[in-house]
A and B are shown apart, each in its own frame.
Chain A
Amino acid sequence: QQKVQQSPESLSVPEGGMASFNCTSSDRNFQYFWWYRQHSGEGPKALMSIFSDGDKKEGRFTAHLNKASLHVSLHIRDSQPSDSALYFCAASETGGADRLTFGKGTQLIIQP
């Protein structure tokens, strides 16, 4: 069973719209979460981490964590064509970014 599950598999959003991604962990040891973004032909790049319940906002990106349900979400407002990419949720048992377990990813397409 995949320990980190993401939904949806793919998402199409008009330029300027809101893109939302979901991630759930089935392992209660995973208490620390990251969101990574991967543009085609490149390696993944960290967007943000979230370790505490509630919201964390960085520019156009907002992450939300509910530790009780081990559910984390990512929202991108005012989506831009450059946001088109593969988005991964990653989880760890420790606060440092060690031994990350990744979800399968969500492909985001921004429609001009």
Chain B
Amino acid sequence: EAAVTQSPRNKVAVTGGKVTLSCNQTNNHNNMYWYRQDTGHGLRLIHYSYGAGSTEKGDIPDGYKASRPSQENFSLILELATPSQTSVYFCASGDRLGALQDTQYFGPGTRLLVL
């Protein structure tokens, strides 16, 4: 099964500080995604990437940047963290092959608290 890891697993940040969340996948998937999960909202797509060097805006990109330096790694960057960005963040990877078995594989999540 696909392996996606995230670091850190828990993070406390101060308002106005810079936060970087990291994601690594070892399955050579082309696509990677960043979501946030909040009670009452489900999972919402922040940024995604189709390969090294590419990033695309998702549904809620404001206040976030993304970086895909390699096939395996995808980072989410909060340049100026705000309390409203307190959430659980999930990274996922997958391939867009158009096949029925296509799916996204999720990491274990990072719990971020911005004070």
- With beta carbons under 8 angstroms apart, the residue of A44, A95, A103 that contacts B102 is A95
Contact A96 B97 (CB under 8 A): yes
Which chain B positions have C-beta within 8 A of A42?
A: 108-109
Q: Decide if the interface of chain B is mainly helix, strand, loop or mixed.
A: loop
A-B contact count (CB 8 A): 64
Contact B103 A97 (CB under 8 A): yes
Mask: chain A, 69-99; 1 = CB below 8 Å from B; 0 = not: 0000000000000000000101000111111
Q: Is the interface on chain B under 10, 10 to 19, 20 to 34, or 35 or more residues?
A: 20 to 34
Contact B43 A96 (CB under 8 A): no
Q: Decide if the interface of chain A is mainly helix, strand, loop or mixed.
A: loop
Which chain A positions have C-beta within 8 A of B45?
A: 99-101
Mask: chain B, 40-61; 1 = CB below 8 Å from A; 0 = not: 1111110010000000001100
Most chain-B CB neighbours within 10 Å: which of A43, A44, A90?
A43
Nearest opposing residue in chain B for A103, CB measure? B42
- With beta carbons under 8 angstroms apart, the residue of A45, A49, A99, A102 that contacts B43 is A102
B residues near A (Cβ < 8 Å) are 4, 31, 35, 40-45, 48, 58-59, 90, 92, 94-109
Given A102-B44, A104-B42, is A95 in contact with B98 using a C-beta cutoff of 8 Å? yes
Which chain A positions have C-beta within 8 A of B109?
A: 42-43
Contact B100 A51 (CB under 8 A): yes
Q: Is the interface on chain A under 10, 10 to 19, 20 to 34, or 35 or more residues?
A: 20 to 34
Nearest opposing residue in chain A for B43, CB measure? A102
Q: Least Cβ distance of B92 to chain A in Å?
A: 8
- With beta carbons under 8 angstroms apart, the residue of A45, A94, A104 that contacts B96 is A94
Contact B106 A96 (CB under 8 A): no
Which chain B positions have C-beta within 8 A of A105?
A: 42
Most chain-B CB neighbours within 10 Å: which of A49, A96, A103, A105?
A96
In the docked arrangement, what's the CA distance between A103 and B42, Å?
6
Which chain A positions have C-beta within 8 A of B59?
A: 101
Contact B103 A46 (CB under 8 A): yes
